[in-house]
Structure 1
Amino acid sequence: MAVPGKKLPKHFSLSTMGFDEDSKVYCQPCDRDGPRLPAHGYCADCKEHLCETCFIVHKRHTLSRHHTLLDKNSMPQSISSVSVHPTQPDNFTKSCPKHTKEIIKFYCQNHKALLCSVCVTLEHTGASCKVNYIPDISGQVINSKELQDILKTMATITEQCRKKSEDLKKNTAKSNNSLTDALADITKFRKEINQRLDELERQAENASKTILQENNKNQKTVERTCDDVTKSLKTSSDTIKHLNTSKQADKLFMELKLAQQMVKDYEKRVHHLAAYDVKEYNFKENKVISTLLDKERSLGTFAEKSLKQPRSPLGVDIKSRQTSHQGEICVKTSKDKDRCHIEGIILFPPDLLIITDNGNSAVKMVDTCSQSVTDQLQLGTGPWDVTSVTSTKFAVTLPDKQKIQFISISSNKLRKKQNLKVDGVCYGISYCQGKLVVSFQNPAKLQILDINGTVLTTDKSENIFSQPLYVTTNTNSIYVSDWMMKTITRLNWQGEVTGSYGGTTRPRGITLSDDGTVLVCDKHRHVIEEIAGDCSTGKVVLKDLNGPRAACWCAETCKLYFSCITGQDKHDNFLQVFKLS
């Protein structure tokens, strides 16, 4: 090790390494930096002779204090037996992940970290770091409790993996079989529908045959009557003409009187024929059936029941997290006429955020790498919540318009697509497995819709919501934050309540972490709380915030993005970024 303050010589030769003509042993570090000083000792690890000053410094320095030092009497008396390019000991072979050219030799007790010499020098020199040279402490791990514990943990995890794999295999087979049964039920249901439709068709055919028979019968009756009347009138007419021609007055008189009576009778019979009304027919479809087939988009739904085993009470514990503030992103733009009012946030991996700015009636696209707004779409009305639908499309709620607006991302530009009219003042929204879950106010309710807006399910419990503002979902559950009820409510996909957490004061935006817990913005307590997936318990993970409003979790980076609303530009115009690990 060189003594501080010396400069590297311009010329370097083997003689400066101690190979002079008289073979006298000199300090090799000093030879590289300046004046030649006689060797006072030798470092077996560095394979270098040291002068008295370098020998003392070598014993004190963090990186070399564990080296084996030989005094003047024990050191090699010739430099020829010493390798100029020492190699690493065989037991040090693992490269440092940060400094790939360095070998790991040290361990920091405080940070539980394996270190190379560069790590120690740059990052672990503080008083809080207790750094050990690995050979000095490695002996204690042989047959130690730590070794037994880690082997036991490894065996436990291995067994858990085996069991998880077996359970998943069984459950997958059961799920696949259930789908086969469900498809058989669909076929059966379809046959029943066909049979019912065939029956209705036969009824229509029978009604048509009855009308047809009645028409033919009436036609024959009218034809027979008209034929009889015509023949009788012709016979009487011919007789009257003959009697008149032959001047047979007596007979003519009687025939005329008989004819007058006959005419009266026939007029009545002909008049009665007018009652036979023949109609023209066309088919008028059953509007109920027509509307049903036009409106419905499926024969039914797949009702879900989780095959996952219930977690034990220990399974709902929330792990402790280390938190660090990663900075903030300004989302105020030159197009904004007012202070930002961010009510919704979603992530489009890996580095795009979509935010709804209710105060400026806009949707904004934010690049987390450049930390800037890259596009802004004006909507003409204040958007509330937002959810991703595909990798290039998302949906926002427009409470004032009672609509859901779809928006696409194309070539880093936001473009309006279709919209859905809903039957209420819509706020929270979340998309999962082809379904939209939407919360409403006035009246308060929760609906599950298909992508075309058809209502599939409405929450089945009364008086559970007052002001449900935000919704988030996964394949098993729906979570709703209610500002007035002060609750986070968990429902299944049939709209039934399966859990509730009441430890918040004014819950706002919610987001799901990758391990199934729910992160909730509690505006009045100025905290973000993490709640177990079954809503059994909760724990504050961030405090002393400034009115947290909407939140979004990034599983890949373990970062939480959230907005604040306080009425001040310094808070409202920025997204906060925290790392939770």
Structure 2
Amino acid sequence: MRAIRQESNKQIYCDICGPKIEACSRCLDCEESLCHICCNVHEKSKASRHHRVSDLGTLDPEMKGKIRQRIFCDQHLEEEIKLVCKDCKVLICVLCKAIKHDHHASETVADAAAEVKMNIEIKMKQCLDKVKRITDSEREAEALDTKINDVESKEINALEDQRLQLIKVIDEEVAKMKLKVENVYKVIRQQNSALKIDLKKELKKCVSANDNARQIINQGTDIDIIKNGSVLEQLLSAAMTETAPNPITRMDKNLFSPVEIKVKELILFIGMMRDSTEMSV
């Protein structure tokens, strides 16, 4: 969209006098910003003398942020931007509409902003759904840490119980198996830790995109929403498009399984060691 003149965020102009006179007060009943002269007239007028008029400097940031910023046409300096030309995809004033965009389809800034806002809110909801899914996956990954430790501990203890029933000559074999179990679960634990880091990054990306969109939706003007709408939609879409990594859930097979000891077959029956690749992420 072409360049437009926007009032400074720190400057609010008189709604009566126009864009050349800076406002100093705000009538909370009329919802109008007033300069010194208009404020005096407003307070003396019979119709408005009892209205609540506050100095702009005393307004809290939230209320001040809700005061509509007036945007003016760069070609017709006294005309406020009120329309969007749908054919040319530009912001225009009523004079632009009458002169250059007479036969073009147009809509009010409010209607255009409402449509963009609706699309963004849909994306935000979808993004929040993904945030929930990622949070659930993150919770599963956290729970898996405990399960990994418990299963590993049980298997190590089972292996140790077997070792205690064997004669001294098999201690070396038992030690080798213990080391393998510890190494395998160390790898699985490292993989799960890396997974949690990826989940946090994906969650941060989604929350950040959603927070940026919420800030524009809640605090931005209609013009801000229109100007930033496509970028926000792209950021939200990108955050939802990337697939979050899935947590480790397969822990139903033990790496080590004890068996009944037979003296003549000690080495063969210390236990059954599964292929460690079955325990990988």
Q: TM-score, normalised by structure 1?
A: 0.17
Structure 1 or 2: more helix by fraction: 2
Structure 1 or 2: more strand by fraction: 1
Q: Which has the higher contact order (CA 8 A, sep 6+)?
A: 2
Q: TM-score, normalised by structure 2?
A: 0.30
Structure number with greater Rg is 1
